Amino acid sequence: MAKISCLSVTIVLILSMAFVIQLASAGGEGSLRQQECAGACTYRCSETSHKKPCLFYCNKCCNKCLCVPSGTYGNKEECPCYNNWKTQEGKPKCP
């Protein structure tokens, strides 16, 4: 019985540590400070033909959420706040 209990505690600790590590690295760029948003958004918007609105909304989202998904498109699941912020029409607010 003690072996099962010890094993259960070990598994819970390992899963907890994995969750904390995942949270710490979420957002591709990691958790950003507001002054780091500009650089992250410059990269995020680097391949779009609509740079000005992309940068405006990306910076607005980053300043609120303090993260920007990795890459130049997609990967929004890495940053739930960024992913879930919607316009009044229900469309994604963040690029």
Contact residues for 66 (Cβ-Cβ < 8 A; gap 6+)? 31, 32, 33, 34, 37, 81
Task: Specify the pTM.
Answer: 0.64
pLDDT, tens digit only, all 95 positions of the chain:
555 677 677 776 676 565 545 544 444 444 677 779 999 999 999 999 999 999 999 999 999 999 999 999 999 999 999 999 999 999 999 99
